[in-house]
Structure 1
Amino acid sequence: MSRFLIPILFFCTVLAASAQDKTISGILTGNLMDSRNKALEGATVQLLSFTDTVTKRTVLTDKSGQFNFTGLPFGYYKLSFSFVGLQTLVIDSICFRAVRYDFNLPDIVLKPKSNELMEEVLIYAEKPLIQSKDGNITFNAGESALAAGSNASELLSQIPLVTKDPDGKIAVRGKEPRILIDDKPVELNLQQLQDLLESLPGSSIEKIEVMTNPPPQYANEQGGVINIVTRKGKVGRSGRVAVSGGTRGEASLNGNFSYRKQGLAFSIHAGVGYNRYLGNGYSVRNNLYADSSNFLNTSNGYTNRNLRPNFRVTLDYDISKQHLLNLVLNYNQNNFDHFNTTEYRTINRFDELWKLSEREIKSTGSGYNPNTSLSYTWKGKPGETLRIITSYQFSRNDNNRDFYQQYFYPDFSPTGVDSLQRQDNFTRVNSHTFRVNYDKMLGNAKTFISLGGLYNRANNQVLTEASYKKQPEGTMEKLDLLSNHFRFHQTVSNLRASVKQVVGENFSFTTGVTAEQTGIWFELLKENRDVKNDYLTWLPFANINKTWKEKLSLTFAYRRSIRRPGIGELNPTIDFSDPYNIRFGNADLEASTAHNFDFIIGRTKTKYFLNLGFGFNQVQDIFSQVRTLLDDGKTQVTWENISDRREYEASSWNGITLSKQLRVNLSASYTYTRYSAFDKTVRKFRDGGSFTSNFNFSFNPTDRWSFNGGFNLNRFASPQGYARWSTSMNLGIQRKFFDKRLIITVNTIDPFVNQQRKTFIYGTHFNLESFSLTRTKNYRLTLAYLFNNQPKKKEVLLPGKLSAKK
């Protein structure tokens, strides 16, 4: 009961403190810079009330370009910025009110003076939690109470159209996207990507962009693009320290420091997170034979512990207005300690307990993932950009597993027979990538060309050493069947060209093609043989986009995409975690290609956005996990190339502003898959549909209080079966104190139902029902404190005008 009282008592304390707030007035802060990101000192900032046109408040920016207004009566205001030699900028319609009286404007840039324009006027619009434009989605994590104490992986599950399958793989509308961080692709395998996202704190993320219609550089990505944008900090020095803890058994500590001045931006983030997950489950497998049947029933429980230190350093340096450099150093680590106990019961055809055993698995190890990237950007004439990105990744993963199995008689008395095996896995991965992108707007300002190329080389070395305890000697002897040693090399290179033509007002089309060469080399050292495969793939793409003044948009897109098997699907090493269910990869897997057609219609207004999408995918040479029953009663799970399949998609993502304080968003996606007659007849595959949905809301009664919530409901289909409905929920309450420097957040995660998954698999000669539950119910408290420079207010009295300050 105490775990429930903690957040309730804390909430009441915060509520009581907020009730003591005195009469409030408006506050406005921000910082000003030129087009070279140089802070403007001594710039004039004027604030004019719509209801009092006589009184003006005027300040001069300090050496960091910062300005500050306090004591502002509620109402609408106009803000004007001016500096010698630069274009005057006006921001209109800033509304101070009881529920939003404190504004902190992002970086404001003054452009060089233009003879054609006396001043530039912008209408201020407050940033909602989720935005949508041209079918793309922006999740403003900096505005969400759900970001506090969470990580990037958890935040992704709160975004419309984004889901994670049971293996942790991220999908957008059912397809795998390309992940970017700060506009640069993450060249990591699935395990490395999961470790990175789970170690990246949500508090370090500014926003997450989901591009269903990505730019030409990534036009062939079947699931579009997810771009995670990290916080950059303000001009001058700023920092943040946060600590969090949860009742489930989790804790984190992280901090960041940033420094910005003319042409230079430096930030460093470091932290550590600890997680403990408890869970349990069961399975019932019915083996069907010509003259009989039997059952293999299991029940299990597990405890998983992970410790994840991490740091990230980012340096941006502008050599000049045309030449820009960016350097990123990133390191994340995962130290894990997992323990699992499983009971196996074999039930014969007479419904009698025939065999009984218990198996314990202890898995300990660590993973280290340092990586770095360097990019150079050259900006030529307007609309002309050259960008070169180089990166290097290294990964080291060690996993030591011990398997102890004890056998019993049906009355649970020990038989005296037991076994002990050990399997040590050592994986080393290194890869390097070189990308070039060139974009140019032609002289007619209606034709845009985009050229680019990629070279990526990845090297994997996997060593698995297995042994068993020999009885009665008690010595550990090598187990050759479960040992392996191989190297895997993959080289991907491509050349890309595209053109975008504007044929009318808000009407354009884009077409292009990518020629991609893939080379695969498997060195199977244990078997003393090599497996090689080289192939060239042409990947055309095109889209047509039309937008009307009423903010109605239509997009039709076609792309041919390719999905290559990774080391997880290719690794031929036998996984002996479950002796009655043998798993291994397939080194002979081939890549899968698909023709993707998408049609999206959207409407965006001030108070709402609506999007409806339809898709059709013709997928060829699919590779998927297939489970088969062996003659000895065990099942075998491996990856196989199956025949083609067709996918029919429908999705919708929508948002509505019910008031200035309350916004609601809802998304849903349904994909129906049809397999070939051969697969349905021979492999017993089943046509089926997958449904994913997301509902979230943001309620901000004042600019000090924030309430956010997210709810997911999903159902996934597989070639051999389906998973029943699963849910997840996250509710967050946030309160800001001391000029918004101290931020206190309480999150309630899955308060009603722990995350659970029930699956059904129907194969040739067997049926399998399995259930798993993870104790995700959690109450999390996060404390964060912000450090930043306070602007020195220089308020001046204009001739002939009255100052508000006496």
Structure 2
Amino acid sequence: MAQKTTISGTLKDSIQNATEPYATIRVYKAGSLQKPIAMSLTDGDGKIKQVVDGKGAFVITFNSVGKKLVRREFTINGEPTVDLGNVYTSDDSKALKGVEIVAQKPVVKMETDKMTYNVQEDVDSKSMTLLDLMRKVPMVTVDGQDNITVNGSKSFKILVDGKENPMFQANASQIFKSIPASMVKNVEVVTNPGAKYDAEGTAGILNIKFNHDSGQKQNMDGYSGNLSATVGNKSDRTSAYIGGQQGKLTYSANATVGYQDMKDINVNLEQTKIVNGQNSVMKYNQKSDQRVPFEMGNLNLGYELDSLSSINAGIGLTSFESKINGTPFTSMEGGIYGSGHSYSNKMSTKESSVGFNGNIDYQRFFDREHKSSITLSYLFSNTPSTEKSSRNQYEPKQETGDMYSDMETNGRTHTLQVDLVNALSKNTTLNTGVKYIYRHNKSDSKYYDYKGDEQVLNADNSVKYNNDQSILAGYAEYVATMNKFSTKAGLRYEHTWENIKYPEQTGKNFKKDYGCLVPSFTLSYAMTPMSNLGLNYSMHILRPGISYLNPYVDRSDPTYISYGNPNLDVEKSHYLSLVYNMYSAKLMMNMTLGQNFCNNQIAEYSFVDKDNVLNTTRRNNTKNRWTNFNMFARWTISKTSSLMMNGSVDYGDMRSKELNCSNNGWQGSIYASLEQVLPLKIKWSLGLYAKTRDYNIQGYSGGMQFLNTSFTKQLFKDRLSLSVQYVNPMRSKLKMTSYSAGADFINRTQYSIPLHMISFTASWKFGNSNKQYGQHKSNITNDFDEKDKKGAGSGMGGVGQGVGM
């Protein structure tokens, strides 16, 4: 039998120390360099894994576009593996001179438990917002109301540069559509995070890496940056970035300022209440305008203490407002409404949020190869917000219809974390760590009635609420590689202490504590150098946060009332998936088949109370089973053309004994795009997005579809980029329908949202280096925090939703 030996190592750039993915590997017999005896490519991480038959002297070469050919000699004497270590390559100035480079870095890096979307390699990043671009990211969908789902669920965790940012978590869609995609380096979708990460976040992690997060410090001084400005009929924004290195110090900063202006948003609701066998019908129409100013900025600093240790720090500030003004019209007739009546309102809602976060990390390696280390991390975040709503009935004028509410909330979090990485051998690692989180969350919600023109506090409808959480966690995770197999198995334990206080109603105060043991497992098999197969299992929990627990009754909408439930329990869910990845020079593909199941989902539901008022709240009252199939494919047709598809199909079954109802159905979404290089090197992109209705325990939310196209031209050696984007050119508005029903009500809602948008973007790169500098990312990866403080109904994956502030 022939002797088989695996040649391993990593191909890297000698200057930037970055890995070289998909470089061509050729192996020759020594003295016979005409025809290779074996060929393959480095993987997405620049890893070398080439099998060679036989014994003796050999020559291996590495070749990638624009790089010098690298040649190594080695001898095989029957050993199973030969490790070349780090193999370095460099730019080939002679080869580059007068040669047009048509190769690109892969847009998507695929692993069995994680996807990385390289935003900077997408031509649409020059013109799109981050929210627009999210529709292209594998395992992510965005509906017509800008609700984001990951892996089929709205319950997921958002990290920014690897660390928690509660402002992003609480207002993800609003912030994402205010950030130009050009500010983002890549988006990671982690479907099976492992024991190292917090147990919160059912669907996984969405990690947004900005341009400054470039990894480890390099041995070269310089700086780089860019300026970008966008003007459009619906929004304007400006952003700036600069990063660099001077000696042992690295630094980076970025900022963006912008606003959105959406006019003529239309909502039509028909609500039927079934009381004593009679139908009472209310029709509600609201026309409104929305304006959202937005600001964001952060600063990062890093310092290399010596060759084995470094310290890094960062601060960030995010601020936005949402102002909505409208004139609702309500009519009622039949049943409890008798012969009927109607009236008009003037309504105004203003939300404002400011988020501050700061972190400091110390990391020390125990060996020269940087395989074993300890990291000490601290993170602080503070997220005060306010919401002011008023409703004034003016036709006919009735004082009972006037109200004003003022709600203030604040979440303050301190996090301490210690992580140990211990390389047991060349192919095995044991990761361990401990973490402590303290959260102080409070809300002060005031409700006012009008007496003439005077606002009078209604103490019965006002409430103060505090929720303090202390979470202590520890984990152990074993990572190993054995030939073509790799595995990651971990166990995490978290114990939570909660203290709930009502400052003005001390008799309602209570405490509770609970512990959760959370396992996770990943097994991967490299079928070929170009394909792999993976099996993932993970259990996750979901702690309800302050907006889900807050008992304050929101009466700002005259058609119904909504409130939280302080008796919610922690939600537990399980996810099992089978993943297949395949990539080549022309085609890359991912297919994921998953199963979600949960027996105590925190689901939003509605009912009519004894006063014939429609109530909306949440309980752990739903069992669900969701089967998900996701597929991503990108085909490079030629050096000037490529096709991309990102789609999903799901089937869900939801049941609730408490509500005496069930629901099931198929749903799906697809984003397909064509990228083409036109004459004069103009890059053209055409995309189609389509989505079916999403199901929840009491109904569904409607589907949608739209087109977008963009043209991009780069000038002055790619330093200047000019782009124009056109969204929904065939129709001026996006229309959707939602439906929900219970034993005593039926709701049908139609939304009409302006989505006819055109924008122009200009960006300029500057600096004396092509490198974008940054520091080691923070090791803090905090639990799931509040993503949607108003609540958006049951998620697409049906595996639960909630918040954990």
Bin of the TM-score, shorter chain as denominator length: 0.7 to 0.9
Q: What is the CA distance between 1:307 and its match in structure 2?
A: 1.0
- Equivalent residue, structure 2, for 1:766: 745
Residues 348 and 187 of structure 1: CA distance in aligned 2, closer, same or farther (over 3 Å):
closer
CA RMSD, aligned part only? 3.1
How far apart are the structure 1 equivalents of 2:293 and 2:120?
25
Q: What is the CA distance between 1:314 and its match in structure 2?
A: 1.4
- Equivalent residue, structure 2, for 1:379: 365
Q: 1:218 aligns to what SS in structure 2? A: coil
* Partner amino acid, structure 2, of 1:384: S
How far apart are the structure 2 equivalents of 1:88 and 1:173?
37
Residues 334 and 747 of structure 1: CA distance in aligned 2, closer, same or farther (over 3 Å):
same
How far apart are the structure 2 equivalents of 1:730 and 1:206?
22
Equivalent pair of 2:655/2:661 in contact (CA under 8 Å): no
- Equivalent residue, structure 1, for 2:591: 612
Equivalent pair of 2:188/2:207 in contact (CA under 8 Å): yes
Matches within 5 A, 1:369-408: 369-381=355-367, 382=369, 383-407=371-395
What are the Cα deviations for residues 185-243 of structure 1, in whole angstroms up to 9, with x where unaligned? 43557425556545543221111122334354238553222222221389512222221
- Equivalent residue, structure 2, for 1:804: none
- Equivalent residue, structure 2, for 1:224: 204
- Equivalent residue, structure 2, for 1:79: 68
Deviates more, 1:360-369 or 1:740-749: 360-369
Matches within 5 A, 1:280-429: 280-348=266-334, 354-381=340-367, 382=369, 383-407=371-395, 414=396, 419-429=401-411
Equivalent pair of 1:132/1:138 in contact (CA under 8 Å): yes
Q: How many residues align?
A: 687
Equivalent pair of 1:218/1:225 in contact (CA under 8 Å): no
- Equivalent residue, structure 2, for 1:449: 430
Q: What is the CA distance between 1:351 and its match in structure 2?
A: 11
Deviates more, 1:487-496 or 1:417-426: 417-426
* Partner amino acid, structure 1, of 2:352: S
How far apart are the structure 1 equivalents of 2:361 and 2:679?
41
Residues 153 and 134 of structure 1: CA distance in aligned 2, closer, same or farther (over 3 Å):
same
Q: What is the CA distance between 1:701 and its match in structure 2?
A: 4.6
Q: 1:203 aligns to what SS in structure 2? A: helix
TM-score of the superposition, structure 1-length normalised?
0.79
Q: What is the CA distance between 1:479 and its match in structure 2?
A: 1.4
Q: 1:656 aligns to what SS in structure 2? A: strand
Matches within 5 A, 1:593-612: 593-612=572-591
Q: What is the CA distance between 1:437 and its match in structure 2?
A: 2.2
* Partner amino acid, structure 1, of 2:319: Q
- Equivalent residue, structure 2, for 1:526: 504
- Equivalent residue, structure 2, for 1:721: 699
Residues 242 and 342 of structure 1: CA distance in aligned 2, closer, same or farther (over 3 Å):
same
- Equivalent residue, structure 2, for 1:711: 688
How far apart are the structure 1 equivalents of 2:586 and 2:359?
40
Residues 594 and 612 of structure 1: CA distance in aligned 2, closer, same or farther (over 3 Å):
same
* Partner amino acid, structure 1, of 2:669: T
Q: What is the CA distance between 1:389 and its match in structure 2?
A: 2.4
Equivalent pair of 2:275/2:336 in contact (CA under 8 Å): no
- Equivalent residue, structure 1, for 2:257: 272
Asked whether 1:431 is paired with 2:439, we answer: no
Q: What is the CA distance between 1:35 and its match in structure 2?
A: 6.1
* Partner amino acid, structure 1, of 2:125: A
Deviates more, 1:447-456 or 1:227-236: 227-236
Residues 285 and 778 of structure 1: CA distance in aligned 2, closer, same or farther (over 3 Å):
same
- Equivalent residue, structure 2, for 1:143: 121
Asked whether 1:695 is paired with 2:669, we answer: no
Q: What is the CA distance between 1:520 and its match in structure 2?
A: 2.0
* Partner amino acid, structure 1, of 2:110: S
How far apart are the structure 2 equivalents of 1:556 and 1:527?
51
* Partner amino acid, structure 2, of 1:319: L
- Equivalent residue, structure 2, for 1:499: 478
What are the Cα deviations for residues 2-54 of structure 1, in whole angstroms up to 9, with x where unaligned? xxxxxxxxxxxxxxxxxxxxxxxxxxxx99637699xxxxxxxxxxxxxxxxx
Q: 2:193 aligns to what SS in structure 1? A: coil
Q: Which of 751, 754, 761 matches 1:782? A: 761
- Equivalent residue, structure 2, for 1:108: none
What are the Cα deviations for residues 752-784 of structure 1, in whole angstroms up to 9, with x where unaligned? 343332111121122111011221221001111
Deviates more, 1:571-580 or 1:533-542: 571-580
How far apart are the structure 2 equivalents of 1:642 and 1:554?
36
How far apart are the structure 1 equivalents of 2:402 and 2:16?
68
Q: 1:79 aligns to what SS in structure 2? A: coil
* Partner amino acid, structure 1, of 2:224: S
What runs of 5+ residues in structure 1 fail to find an aligned partner? 1-29, 38-74, 104-124, 408-413, 792-806
Residues 440 and 672 of structure 1: CA distance in aligned 2, closer, same or farther (over 3 Å):
same
Q: What is the CA distance between 1:622 and its match in structure 2?
A: 1.0
What are the Cα deviations for residues 109-168 of structure 1, in whole angstroms up to 9, with x where unaligned? xxxxxxxxxxxxxxxx62143343446332222123432354433332331221246775
How far apart are the structure 1 equivalents of 2:87 and 2:97?
30
How far apart are the structure 1 equivalents of 2:190 and 2:594?
15
Residues 415 and 429 of structure 1: CA distance in aligned 2, closer, same or farther (over 3 Å):
closer
Q: What is the CA distance between 1:566 and its match in structure 2?
A: 1.9
Residues 342 and 88 of structure 1: CA distance in aligned 2, closer, same or farther (over 3 Å):
closer
What are the Cα deviations for residues 672-724 of structure 1, in whole angstroms up to 9, with x where unaligned? 22234625xx4323123332322234333589532234433223111100123
Equivalent pair of 2:158/2:169 in contact (CA under 8 Å): no
What runs of 5+ residues in structure 2 fail to find an aligned partner? 1-11, 20-63, 72-85, 215-219, 771-805
How far apart are the structure 1 equivalents of 2:95 and 2:648?
37
- Equivalent residue, structure 2, for 1:656: 635
Q: 1:685 aligns to what SS in structure 2? A: strand
Structure of greater Rg:
1
Residues 228 and 790 of structure 1: CA distance in aligned 2, closer, same or farther (over 3 Å):
closer
* Partner amino acid, structure 1, of 2:488: T
Deviates more, 1:351-360 or 1:752-761: 351-360
Q: Which of 96, 105, 122 matches 1:127? A: 105
Matches within 5 A, 1:564-583: 564-583=543-562
How far apart are the structure 1 equivalents of 2:210 and 2:654?
41
Greater relative contact order, per chain length (Cα 8 Å cut-off, separation 6+): 2
Equivalent pair of 2:195/2:491 in contact (CA under 8 Å): no
Residues 193 and 476 of structure 1: CA distance in aligned 2, closer, same or farther (over 3 Å):
same
Q: 1:548 aligns to what SS in structure 2? A: strand
Q: 1:622 aligns to what SS in structure 2? A: strand
Equivalent pair of 1:213/1:219 in contact (CA under 8 Å): no
What are the Cα deviations for residues 435-491 of structure 1, in whole angstroms up to 9, with x where unaligned? 222222213x232211122221111121122212214xx432111233111111122
How far apart are the structure 1 equivalents of 2:311 and 2:490?
29
Q: 2:141 aligns to what SS in structure 1? A: strand
How far apart are the structure 2 equivalents of 1:162 and 1:556?
20
* Partner amino acid, structure 1, of 2:427: K
How far apart are the structure 1 equivalents of 2:620 and 2:746?
22
What are the Cα deviations for residues 319-365 of structure 1, in whole angstroms up to 9, with x where unaligned? 22211222111111113322122111112169996110112211235
Asked whether 1:484 is paired with 2:469, we answer: no
- Equivalent residue, structure 1, for 2:77: none
- Equivalent residue, structure 2, for 1:748: 726
Residues 557 and 700 of structure 1: CA distance in aligned 2, closer, same or farther (over 3 Å):
same
Residues 198 and 438 of structure 1: CA distance in aligned 2, closer, same or farther (over 3 Å):
farther
What are the Cα deviations for residues 236-270 of structure 1, in whole angstroms up to 9, with x where unaligned? 1222222111112x111221222224433211112
Residues 166 and 437 of structure 1: CA distance in aligned 2, closer, same or farther (over 3 Å):
farther
**Aligned residues with identical type, % of pairs:** 18
Q: What is the CA distance between 1:607 and its match in structure 2?
A: 1.3
- Equivalent residue, structure 2, for 1:9: none
Equivalent pair of 1:583/1:638 in contact (CA under 8 Å): yes
